[in-house]
Structure 1
Amino acid sequence: MPIRPTYPGVYVEEIPSGVHPIVGVSTSVAAFVDFFPRGPINKATQITNFGDFQRIFGGLDKRSEASYAIQQFYLNGGQLAWVVRVNSDKMKMVSASYTLGSTLKVTAANPGTWAGGSSGNSPNSVQVAIDKNTPDPSDQFNLAVREVATVNGKKKVVSSEIYRNLTMTKNNARYAVNVVNASSALIALTDLNTGTGSVELPSRTSTTIEDVIASSVVNDSATDAYKSLTGGDDGDLFDSDGQLKSDRFTIFSEALTGDQKENTGIYALDNIAPFHFNILCIPATANLGNEDYLSTYKKAIPFCEDKRAVVLVDIPTIIDTVEKLMDSNFQGTLDQLRINPNAATYFPRLHIADPLNENRPRNVGPSGTLAGIYARTDATRGVWKAPAGTDAALVGADLPLKLTDQVNGNLNSLGINVLRNFPIFSTVSWGARTLDGADMKASEWKYIPVRRTALFIEQSLYEGLKWVVFEPNAEPLWAQIRLNVSAFMQSLFRQGAFQGQSRKDAYLVKCDSETTTQNDINNGIVNIVVGFAPLKPAEFVIIQLQQMAGQIQV
């Protein structure tokens, strides 16, 4: 506001600079959607390392393709990831439970056998104990919760929770249901009191041990003071060998894609705002039948286009030779997935050492490994550098199939990226095309780094220009927009993100009366034109060699 002088003297006025710095968004946050043995249901959970994944979702599991993909993601340079554990009524997963008398029902925080199976002799279980060692035993009790797991053949307490001086009086600050349900990662309580006025406390779980919350008792896995939850079930999707049953393909596919209205499956990622993800991996689709494989990716690819992310499409498990890959039926399947340029695929699948099977090779999809390479390349070189070449070495993975240059060329022309093994450089990513990058399509989004750079700029401008909304739509606003967007693009140019020797050759930012007409102003619209000259990878290196004739001297 202008200063209104009221007395003789010196006045100081601060003038806004119009600077609203635009910060580049992250480019390599991965999202994994699959079955996991434990963890929150249909809720995207952020993890920062594989230890987080083990603690929250149970670690490696032979039924979960994504558990191995997440391990590979972090081995190859990944940093941030979102994990969604899917479930549906048709999957028939059940939470373990235990009833403390007629007062409290204890239910595992989420379904599965991790908290206790159908029999009381489960290798892993959640256990609870009650004592009355409180200031007022007639109205208060202590609750101890612990998780017991089998580690190296021995049962061990791996985590515990203690809740002191709880009560069953609903209007009390220490009401057991409210206190436990608000903070426990292991259980949830249900009050079984009838509400007739009389409040019954749960009985002690041990007649011989008065203090069940003492550390010596809590950490004693053999004590009988603790009662195990039972009845947990992982559903009936998988057989005893951990293989997905063929008659459950459609059920699992529907669980993976989920329901947009209920924010389940992949749509659980809608709830992570203001955060976002850049790379989606659904490796379990490789085990589905062809129709369900197509159905899953046909929903995932448009979803990622809306989120300005890319999908790494895993080749089906049964496609293990070049002949099967080039079969017209499977090529027809891939053609149906060329919906937009926000997808890429790699061949062949990978072999990794499986710790759950004495480190024997396990066939896995490459999506998790490549997501890690994307993250590593972004961190060291920038999103505009192709995640391929001799620097893009695959850590902890080997190839079951060695491909020749001729086969590489044939697949490259179809937009299928190839994984190769070279002496010295070992196993590397040797392709940088989107699924839209087949030669016959002549797409402007042929290359992965070009597409991902555009998505990066779009998302950064989308988040960095929200201050523009409801500002007066006139030249002062347009000048501020040009100033801030140009500063952002110039910073990328100085990092080497664009072609050209000068900024005029590298990018343009236009926002004036030519882009925003009076009719646009009347309709509340401001148009901003941003262009950039992308860096495209040197896919073919041609060396011309000529023999020089000897000089004749006279």
Structure 2
Amino acid sequence: MVEGKDPGAYANRLEVEVRPATSGEAGTFDVAVVEDGVDRVVFADLTMTPGAARHVEAVINAPRGGSALVRVTDLALPGAPALGVQTAGLAAGDDGLTGLTDTDFIGSEVGKTGLRALDTIQDLSLLLVPGRATAAVHNAMVAYCEGPREGLVFALLDPPAGLGAAGVVDYVLNTAALGNLSEHAAIYWPRVKVLNPSRSVFGSSDQLVVAPSGIIAGVFSRTDGGRPGGVYDPPAGIDKGRMFGVLGFETDEVLEERKRDLVYPKRINPLTTGPGLPRYIDGSRTLKGDGNFPYVAERRGVSFIERSLKQGLQFARHKNNTEGLRAQVRRTITAFLLTQMNNGAFRSREPDKAFFVDVSDTLNTP
């Protein structure tokens, strides 16, 4: 018996072919796992003899070198399988996605479901839920970043499907009430067109319209890693904000400057292009305009510094609060902030103006 290795509809695209053995040895056979008519993997010279080195279960189900797509069960039929019926398709796989609601994505601390399944991920810095652009999920994402993640995670919000400039403004200000809500999130518009990676899965169209947050997260990552201190650079513009793989936009309204001028003052970051230009992110504002850090790079830069210091000061945990320990902490923080200053973290490049480090009795009881 052959079945998908894990639950899901992915296996419905698979076929399993039993073929004559590559070696030609009697009592052996090959098994090929085929996807969309292409061999994904072939296991050669297998046998149905229990305990044999090439027993079909031992080879295909092996943790190392076995199949990542299927698993097999030997139903104890003796000898090699009949080769008259060589091909069989897998069916009845279920991704379990039918009937999902906002609650499934929002989740609960009890049982660690939805967003709360991420609670134990220590190095999480970006949060996105592609394809679930609802008021409930967006507000839950913002609350999660500000609450349980203490402002150290930044949310990338997608626009709902089919919205023009006026529609996305109405969504942000009225439907979802995201206007001026948080500096720990940003929303982008519109959705984008990408190449269809698999017609057997996504239909016959050459292009798909998808949520942009995954691509935008890639832009953030590329900008962060572009240089030491890249996290302090706005992930926007024709250079740093360029979106590779984007073929177009759900609506051409975003190509009109007057439409972009409608959304950007509402702190909705447009995605656009122009003659001779790549497709790029044309805004770097958080949802909140009157906070301490109203721009994406400012907010994420501060979060990076806080996250780095928390990690870098772990050596001080549970040590006696002595002058010597405080001096060591001060030196560690100062050295780190000097490096970040030289990387462009602060407005000034003069240490006395850029930052100060306080480990005095005001903050620490001896």
AA of the residue aligned to 1:186: L
Q: Deviations over 1:124-164 (max 9, x none)?
A: 23467999x9xxxxxxx9897542112xxxx2321245797
- Report the counterpart of residue 7 of structure 2 in structure 1: 111
Q: Say which of 215, 221, 231 aligns to 2:92.
A: 231
1:282 partner letter: V
Q: Does 1:510 align with 2:354?
A: no
* CA distance in structure 2 between the aligned counterparts of 1:497 and 1:344, rounded to whole angstroms: 20
Match of 2:137 among 296, 304, 318: 296
Within the candidate set 191, 213, 224, 1:367 is matched to 213
Deviation sequence 1:380-417 (CA, Å, 0-9, x none): 25111111223223333334224554543442332211
* 2: CA distance, partners of 1:281 / 1:142: 49
Matched, 1:125 2:15: yes
Identity %: 27
Q: Counterpart of 2:145 in 1: which secondary structure?
A: helix
2: CA distance, partners of 1:175 / 1:353 = 38
Q: Distance between the aligned counterparts of 2:10 and 2:108, measured in 1?
A: 26
Aligned-residue CA RMSD (Å): 3.7
Take 2:258 and 2:88, find their aligned partners in 1: how far apart are those partners?
64
The number of residues matched between the two structures is: 346
Name the residue aligned to 2:78.
203
In 1, the alpha carbon distance for the partners of 2:126 and 2:318 equals 33
Residue 378 (str. 1) matches residue 224 (str. 2): yes
Task: Say whether the 8 Å CA contact 2:187–2:287 is kept in structure 1.
Answer: yes
Q: Does 2:143 align with 1:279?
A: no
**Letter paired with 2:214:** G
Q: Tell whether 2:242 aligns with 1:393.
A: yes
Structure 2 CA distance for partners of 1:191 and 1:268, relative to 1, 3 Å:
farther
Counterpart contact for 1:108–1:126, Cα < 8 Å: no
1:416-431 correspondence runs (5 A): 416-431=268-283
Which residue number corresponds to residue 33 of structure 2? 147
Q: Distance in 2 between matches of 1:190 and 1:464?
A: 50
Give the 3 Å change call, closer, same or farther, for CA 485–225 of structure 1 in structure 2.
same
> Which segments of 5 or more consecutive residues in structure 2 lack a partner in the other structure?
none
Structural mapping, 1:157-176, within 5 Å? 157-161=39-43
1:421 deviates by: 2.7
Q: Which amino acid aligns with 2:33?
A: E
1:350 aligns to what?
A: 192
Instruction: Compute the displacement of 1:165 (Å).
Output: 8.2
1:154-180 Cα offsets, whole Å, 9 max, x none, are x232124579789879xxxx9968993
Question: Which segments of 5 or more consecutive residues in structure 1 lack a partner in the other structure?
Answer: 1-97, 99-105, 117-122, 134-140, 193-200, 209-222, 238-247, 287-292, 519-554
Structure 1 residue 471, shift from structure 2 partner: 1.5
Length-normalised TM-score, structure 1: 0.54
The match for 1:447 is: 295
Structure 2: how far apart are the matches of 1:126 and 1:255? 34
Equivalent residue, structure 1, for 2:118:
269
Contact 1:383 1:453 in 2 (8 A): yes
User: What is the alpha-carbon distance in structure 2 between the residues aligned to residue 353 and residue 456 of structure 1?
Assistant: 34
Are the equivalent residues in 1 in contact too, given 2:56–2:74 (CA < 8 A)? no
Change (3 A) 1:404 1:227: closer
- 1:310 aligned to 2:151? no
The alpha-carbon deviation at position 376 of structure 1 amounts to: 2.2
Q: 1:350 to 1:474 in 2, by over 3 A?
A: same
SS of aligned partner of 2:131: helix
Aligned counterparts of 1:445 and 1:380: Cα–Cα separation in 2: 22
**Whole-angstrom CA distance in 2 between matches of 1:419 and 1:227:** 46
Contact kept? 1:181, 1:189, Cα under 8 Å: no
Q: Is the 8 A contact 1:129 1:204 kept in 2?
A: no
Give distance in 1, aligned partners of 2:179 and 2:18: 50
Counterpart of 1:11?
none
SS of equivalent residue, structure 2 residue 222? helix
SS at 2:225 equivalent:
helix
| C-alpha separation in 1, matches of 2:107 and 2:31 | 33
Instruction: Tell me the distance in 2 between the aligned counterparts of 1:359 and 1:176.
Output: 39
TM value normalised by structure 2 = 0.78
Displacement of 1:368: 2.0
Partner SS, residue 138 of structure 2: helix
Whether the 8 Å CA contact 1:127–1:146 is kept in 2: the answer is yes
Residue pairs, 1:210-249, within 5 angstroms: 224=85, 229-234=90-95, 237=98, 248=99
Task: Flag the structure with more relative contact order, 1 or 2, with Cα contacts below 8 A and sequence separation at least 6.
Answer: 1
**Between Structure 1 and Structure 2, whose CA radius of gyration is higher?**
1
State which drifts further: 255-264 or 381-390: 255-264
Q: Pairwise mapping of residues 67-146 of structure 1 onto structure 2 (< 5 A)?
A: 98=1, 106-116=2-12, 124-126=14-16, 146=32
Residues 205 and 225 of structure 1 are in contact (CA less than 8 Å); yes or no, is this contact kept in structure 2?
no
Contact 1:390 1:428 in 2 (8 A): yes
C-alpha contact (below 8 Å) 1:115/1:147 kept by paired residues: no
Determine the structure 1 residue equivalent to 2:165. 322
Structure 2 residue matching 1:417: 3-state secondary structure: strand
Q: Secondary structure at the match of 1:148?
A: strand
Aligned to 1:187: 70
